[in-house]
Amino acid sequence: MPLDGVRAALGTNESGLTDAEAATRLAAGGPNVLPRQRATALRIFLRQLANPLLGLLILVAFVSFVVGQRTDAVIITAVMSLSVGLGFFDEYRANQAAVLLESHVTRRARVTREGRLIEIPAEQLVPGDLLRVETGDILPADVRITSARDLAVDESVLTGESVAVEKTAAAPDDGGEMSAILLAGSTVRSGDGEGIVVATGRATMLGGIARRLETPPPVTEFQRGLRRFSLLLVSATAVLTTFILGANALLGRGWLESILFALAIAVGLTPQLLPAIVTVSLATGSRRLAARQVIVRHLVAIEDLGNIEVLFSDKTGTLTAGTITLERIVDGPERKERGVLEWAAAFLPAWQGLPPRNPIDLALSLDARLAAASDTPWEARGGLPFSYTRRAGAVLARDPNDGQTWLVVTGAAEEVLARCSSGPSWGSGWAASAQAALDDLVSHGIRPLTVAIAAHEDGEVGEDDLRGLEFVGFLGFSDPPKPGAMEALDHLARLGVEVKVLTGDH
């Protein structure tokens, strides 16, 4: 939607909302908070009683007490209390741990109201507010961007993708991308910007995820089986008890004697320890999982965990370390002087002592081979920042040896190769050789960064300068597996569990 349309739809302008209008909207829409976990202690306790077998045990204990079999009543009550108490304790503790996660998005926000930039609690944000963001901010709401300067955002909390995404004020042509939207829970990695709050609290995308956590969990196959077994016992006990009472009545037996005999049959048929055994077993599994930092909010889910046949796993930060490292250095076979590592060293002075703004630049800055590739540091003279539209960036740097100024371009393989017209270190068939090397990197799950160069005079660098480049080579990056990831996958394979990996990589 055009920005004018957004402002009209939300009743705001460049000066922001008035304090009165913001207060009205806050009262109508509620505070900007995620849905709270509503599983109270009473609700968790009542959930432990939702078992037909427990109902039968309560009935048996009551009848035993009435007819004088009080020792039996006490034993049955103690067993039921143990079962319910263990289940309640474990689920309540897990629920409290989950509630602590809600503090992740509690913070303050800078907004423009009545033309003044002020700071307010993030809970008081309302749709239509003008929100200011900068590097390091965690977004408290969904925002439509009105202005942006080198704005890149880490959306891994929502997508799992570790590489920051560029954001602009211009809406995408196809409408399928969210390049003009900042999502609640994401983190600003570079740049700054301003935008109009379009959704808060439950209405945000993060709020939608939180709402799904509120819904009752689906009934597991284990619960269905236990319920069918309990109902079978209840039905059999009811039929037999009715038959025994009827038969004794026909035979002229006394009612007290008949009730005691029917009660004995009912107690004999009822596995009084079954609820306790099930709960103790599941609680033991819950504690063993807790020792491995796994929160089990519903004990019955453990049985389903053991029945998994296909496991869908996130990749970044789950199977991998979530940290990008330089793994491959691919130079041309006819390299004579500088290689890709030496040219990439021109990027080191470009940050001027500041920390790099994206994971790949950070990996370059931390790699000792890159720092050692040049005896004398290059002198940064300018360049073009990396653009997620261009998918490339350039540094204008002066050679420390001969004083020649070079434009060193890095970026996505397809984009940079399309801007190259030669590749001396790769021979006459440089394009085919480069493509073969690129295919090999990708086939091994390595993310390629292409390096190209061009001689350049000091001065401004424009888009036209990023043409007719000389291809140099590739730097291959990977997110290495976590220690133990291979063993975990091997163990799953031995258990007959098929693993599918969810990833946004190439």
Which helix H or strand E contains 234, and what residues bound it?
A: helix 221-250
Would strands 108-113 and 130-134 be described as parallel, antiparallel, or unpaired? antiparallel
Helices 70-100 and 41-48, packing angle to 10 deg: 130
* Local structure of 410: helix, strand or coil: strand
Catalytic residue among 304, 314, 440, 505: 314
Residue 313's nearest CA partner among 101, 488, 94 is 488
- Cα 154 from Cα 163, distance rounded (Å): 7
How far is the C-alpha of 381 from the C-alpha of 236, rounded, in Å? Answer: 88
Q: 192-205: b or e for each residue (b if 16 or more CB lie within 10 Å)?
A: ebbbbbbbbbbbbb
Taking CA atoms, 109 is separated from 102, 172, 200, in Å, by: 17, 27, 13
The CA-atom distances, in angstroms, between 361 and each of 187, 245, 323, 449, 505 are: 18, 83, 12, 11, 18
The dihedrals phi and psi of 51, each to the nearest 5 degrees, come to: -145, 120
314 is a catalytic site residue: yes
Please name which of 187, 157, 152, 186 lies closest in space to residue 168, comparing C-alpha atoms.
Answer: 152
Main-chain dihedrals φ then ψ at residue 341, nearest 5 degrees: -70, -40
**Amino acid type, 335:** R
Nearest to 263 by CA among 247, 246, 240: 240
In the block, tokens 């720092």 appear at 371
Return d(Cα 260, Cα 266) in angstroms, integer.
10
- Nearest 5°: the CA angle 150, 9, 189 is 20
Residue 147, phi then psi, degrees to nearest 5: -150, 145
Are the CB atoms for 351 and 196 separated by under 8 Å?
no
Residue with tokens 């599994």: 285
| Strand (E) or helix (H) holding 453 | strand 447-455
Helix (H, G, I), strand (E, B) or coil at 130: strand
11 dihedral zone (left: phi>0; alpha: psi -120 to 50; beta): left
Q: Which token pair is 367? A: 């790699």
Cβ-contact 75, 267 below 8 angstroms: no
Among all residues, which ones are annotated catalytic? 314
